[in-house]
Amino acid sequence: IIILILKRLNGIDFEEIKVDISKRHHLSPEFTEVNPLQKVPAILHGNLNLFESHAILVYLSSAFPGIADH
């Protein structure tokens, strides 16, 4: 959830796609393309797939100017 907060507070345009793990959506072939480990959270930005919370936060902080380093 911290990733969503960071994106919203800093005005980063993104499309949120909810993955219902109770319905095993994270095991779908489409999601596996984004995250081979089939875990959430995961982001796809251009050709870059990230799927570990800390890595996502570090990436967002460096990829979008003006975001405070949290």
- pTM, whole model, 2 decimals? 0.78
In a domain, 7, yes or no: yes
pLDDT at 68: 61
In this predicted model, what pLDDT tens digit does every residue of 7-59 receive, in sequence order? 887 888 888 899 999 999 999 999 999 999 999 999 999 999 999 999 998 89
Task: Please tell me the distance from the alpha carbon of residue 60 to that of residue 7, in angstroms, as a whole number.
Answer: 8
Residue 34: inside a domain? yes
Count of structural domains, the chain: 1
Instruction: Evaluate whether 22 touches 8 at the Cβ level (below 8 Å).
Output: no
pLDDT at 69 exceeding the cut of 80:
no
Which DSSP string corresponds to 1-70?
-HHHHHHHHTT---------GGGTGGGSHHHHHH-TT--S--EEETTEEE-SHHHHHHHHHHHSTT----
> Does residue 25 fall inside a structural domain?
yes
CATH number of residue 10's parent domain: 3.40.30.10
Instruction: Determine, yes or no, domain membership for 59.
Output: yes
68 in a domain, yes or no? no
Which domain, by its residues, includes 20? 2-63
